[in-house]
Amino acid sequence: MLFAIGRHPPLMHLARARHRAATAEAMAEALDADPATVEVQRFPDGERLARIEARLDDHVVLLHDLRPDERIVEALSACDAAREAGAETVTLAVPYLAYARQDRSFEHGEGVTSRALYRALSANADRLVTVDPHTSDVLGFFEGPTVGATAVPELADALGDHGVDSVLAPDEGARGRASDVAERLGCSADHLEKTRHSAEEVSMTPAALDVAGETVAIVDDIISTGGTMSAATRHLLDAGAERVLVAATHGVFAEGADKRLDDAGVDELVVTDAIDGDRATVSCAPALARGVRSLPSP
């Protein structure tokens, strides 16, 4: 999906995925932009080609996913197509910044996938906007202006009707996000200490906060295997919490995550549609639109 910001007539049509059409419409309204479409053609050998029929001669925001991997090729082709169609600058709006957790070489000889990918993106797009990236450091791999906007206001709104007494982060790194949500809900925040034993298994040590009889929301950036959220949920229920809600910007939901969360006793799940899925109930469009607006003019 493409938008021409401002003065130009509508440019293109809808993205193939339904949920992105809704994201695009909401962004277009927030940005006062004209929605347009990128067509993606698949060849018999599986290769892809993006095509933009409209003539562009302006600054364009391209809303595109980077997950699953095949979308990365589409995004690169769509950036190139925008330039072929005449766009002066391309701002790539990516709801979920894939590979951000691969932010360094952990062992000798390991590639830094985020670096390789974001450099490739910056060879094709001028600016990058995303929502709640795993760390803001990885944005530095994109060689141009970037913004990591946050969906905290929308997550807090979605938690607002649930009578949350306190908000917990599952580890210290997520404490800032949990505190922001707590401030919006007018309640207290704390964090747990997480120790990761394997890709799926983590354990938690106690928070100072007394959660007995409380409704507690755990807030994180990503739910992947669900190991973090399920361990935190168990920990809080063991500590006497009455209900545990979990909220995250990105619902990756790797295989087995649903069962892990169910088995742990999660009462309610709040995730945005930055990654498409049945469980997504909160739109990432306002955050993306805020991100685009906060960039300096091209």
150 part of the interface to ligand R5P, by CB under 6 A: no
**CB nearer to ligand R5P: pick between 74 and 200:** 200
3 state DSSP class of 42: strand
226 part of the interface to ligand R5P, by CB under 6 A: yes
**CB nearer to ligand R5P: pick between 227 and 291:** 227
179 part of the interface to ligand R5P, by CB under 6 A: no
What span, in angstroms and rounded, lies between the C-alpha atoms of 94 and 107? Answer: 28
Token pair of 15, please? 């993205």
251 part of the interface to ligand R5P, by CB under 6 A: no
Q: Find where tokens 């946050």 sit.
A: 150
Q: Look up 259 and say whether it is catalytic.
A: no
Stretch of 13-21, 27-35, 141-149, 223-231 contacting ligand R5P, by CB under 6 A: 223-231
DSSP lists the bridge partners of residue 34 as 4
In residues, how long is the chain? 298
**CB nearer to ligand R5P: pick between 103 and 165:** 103
CB of 190 to ligand R5P, least distance (A): 16
222 part of the interface to ligand R5P, by CB under 6 A: yes
78 part of the interface to ligand R5P, by CB under 6 A: no
Q: Please identify which residue in 128, 174, 217, 246 interacts with ligand R5P, judged by CB under 6 A.
A: 174
What span, in angstroms and rounded, lies between the C-alpha atoms of 256 and 253? Answer: 8
Q: Are strands 166-169 and 215-223 parallel, antiparallel or unpaired?
A: parallel
Catalytic entry in 175, 194, 243, 260 = 194
The answer to whether 289 and 129 have CB atoms below 8 angstroms apart is: no
133 part of the interface to ligand R5P, by CB under 6 A: no
Task: Note the helical H segments in 186-267.
Answer: 227-238, 257-264
Q: Helix 152-159 crosses helix 285-294 at what angle (to 10 degrees)?
A: 150
**CB nearer to ligand R5P: pick between 144 and 173:** 173
**Closest to 158 in 3D by CA, of 276, 272, 290:** 272
Q: Which residues bind ligand R5P (CB under 6 A)?
A: 170, 173-174, 202, 220-228
Residues serving a catalytic function are: 194
